Every structure is written in structure tokens, then in C-alpha cells.
Amino acid sequence: MRLKYHREIKDNEIACNLTDFQECEREAFRFVFSDINNPKNYEPVYIINPKRKTDEIQQERYHCTGYALSFFHSQLSAKKRYLTLISDKPKLYKILGTHIAQGVLEHQDGISDEPNDLGHFSHFEYENRDLSIKFRIVEAIINYND
């Protein structure tokens, strides 16, 4: 199956090694807004903020994982990372969301790498997948109107 953003990734093959990414089945957690149907909940950072891609290319930090979705292997690791990220950027919740959602990624949903030491992993969706129907909010991290 083809990745959802295969054209964008192909255009930048030099910064995209997907050999560590595999189809898998695993429980996953991610930051979302209070409205589980908010389209930003399941869009990768380079789609939400194209300027970030431009900036990272100029700084030679570009990598195709900007077209992947960020997930965590546990609710606790997601919450810890969230609180670390907003500790010195209190308005970052406007970009990240304010809640944690839980769901199960399955083989037909795409490819993921292994979680890092922070419990984070990247997931490239396959075309025509809708992860929003597979996730539900399990925790409000902070209470802001988003």
C-alpha cells in the first residue's frame, strides 16, 4: 500500500530512510484537541505548518518524519512529554492540543518505527485510512478552551 503523503516523501528521498518502519499492531496514544473530530488531530506537522518544513530544510534538519504522526506507547509517556514541551512554551497547547487520545494501530493502518527512550514513535499512514475513528479521548491534560 502507498503512504498517505508518498509524493511529498518521494520528492525528498535523500532525507527519508524507512527501513526501520514496519506494519505492526500496537496500542498508541497521541495529543489531540478536545473535539476528537478536529482535523488537526490526525495531520502531520508538515501539513499543519508548511513553514516548519521550509525552516528545517534551511537549517539542514529536514526529515520525512514531518509527514508522519507522532504517537506514544503509553498514556504516561505521552503526558510526561506533553508537560515537558509546554513547560517553557505555555501557548504550545494551541498547536499540540489539550488532551490525550488512545487507540490501536493495526497492520493495515501504515508503518511505524520502534518507540524511543521517551516512548515516542512515528507512524506513516497508508492512503485512505482514517485514524480518527479508531481513537477516543482518555485524558484532559490541561483545561484550556481550544
Q: Is residue 95 assigned to a domain?
A: yes
Cβ-count burial 101-127 (b if 16+ within 10 Å, e if not): bbbebeeebbbbbebeeebbbbbbbbe
In a domain, 1, yes or no: no
pTM over 0.85: yes
Structural domain range at position 26: 6-140
pLDDT in the model for residue 16: 79
Q: Count structural domains, the chain.
A: 1
pLDDT tens digits, residue range 77-91?
Answer: 999 999 999 999 989
22 part of a folded domain: yes
Residue type present at position 131: L
- The predicted structure's pLDDT at residue 108: 97
